[in-house]
Structure 1
Amino acid sequence: MLNIVLFGPPGSGKGTQAKFLEEKYQTPQISTGDLFRYNLKNETELGALAKSYMDKGQLVPDEVTTNMLVDHLDNNPNPQGFIFDGYPRTTAQAEALDKILTEKYQSEVSVTLALVVDDEILVQRLLERGKTSGRADDVDETIIRDRITEYYAKTAIVAEHYKAQGKWVEIDGVGTIEDITEKLNAAIKEVL
């Protein structure tokens, strides 16, 4: 089983690259954002629980996010592996993912690929994306910078979790889409 955790700040190209990896390795991308949108839109029990926290301006607890992931895995089994995008974001989620993969699939995270991009490039990419994305959080530079800062604050400790396991690979996320895809594939080949 090939299980890839894809890391990177907003604007690093995770979503774009996940699609290429999904196609090449026939492993579905599981985006935390997509899981939230699905559960909220379909008014599932987990969606309602998440909304109750969001409506109060609180972060959704790790357990709720993890339960959304487990529910998705139970309904979409794929013995070939997964590409995790946006999960895990905390050490508790990383530990939960390790346990889920071990218990459900007798497997583990194969590699964590972290796209590294200079903050100023991220800001410019997001501002450019904001011209066509319709996303309010892509048009305000202050909000963009806050999102980037929050990403680093939350994920630095998760990076240590995977570094300790020898599963953390940093990839230069600047260049053409094709060049970055090639770098990611080279890192994946090392673990196949």
Structure 2
Amino acid sequence: MNTLFPIFLKAENLHVLIVGGGYVGLEKLNALLGNSPEARVTLVAPDIRDEIREMTHLFPKLQLIQEAYHEIYLSDKDLVIAGTNDKAVNQQVQSDCKRHRILVNVADTPDLCDFYLSSVVKKGDLKVAISTNGKSPTFAKRFREVLEDILPDSLQETLDNLTAIRNQLKGDFVQKMEKLNEITKVLR
């Protein structure tokens, strides 16, 4: 049974550390900045892919540190993602994060994760996150592709219309919710 608690973070209000400058680090960086382009991210690794270096031109809040990981890099961080090809480094990052009470994701090691990165469907302001409880990121990716094909691009117009209606509704919270529930019944 999947007991994960889904949450959408305002990453632009956080300082995220990514440990690893290879393919996995690039993948995690793309996922983070693809969803939250204003996020403040520090990436530390002894070797950093050229594709990551090029991203600094597009994302001014991305800082690269070409050094080996050290616990000092956890200072002032809110969230950490470890994605190196060195299991000992990943375990050290996780251990250090636990000691500092910082949530951590260790790529491809569910037992060391406090959270998982989801596969995300985006249609305008709508985001749908998909989790397989860490069991199959590949399935989550494929299911995301199915949902992207099924969900119409016109959803943004629907969301904008519902926002306008909500802003015009009179009454207390319960009355507004009842009216919005009545309006959105057609979505079933």
Measured against the shorter chain, the TM-score band is: 0.3 to 0.5
Structure number with the higher strand fraction is 2
Give me the TM-score of the superposition, normalised by structure 2: 0.33
More contact order relative to length (CA 8 Å, sep ≥ 6): 1
- Normalised to the residue count of structure 1, the TM-score between the two structures is 0.32
| Greater helix fraction, Structure 1 or Structure 2 | 1
Q: Which protein shows a greater Rg?
A: 2
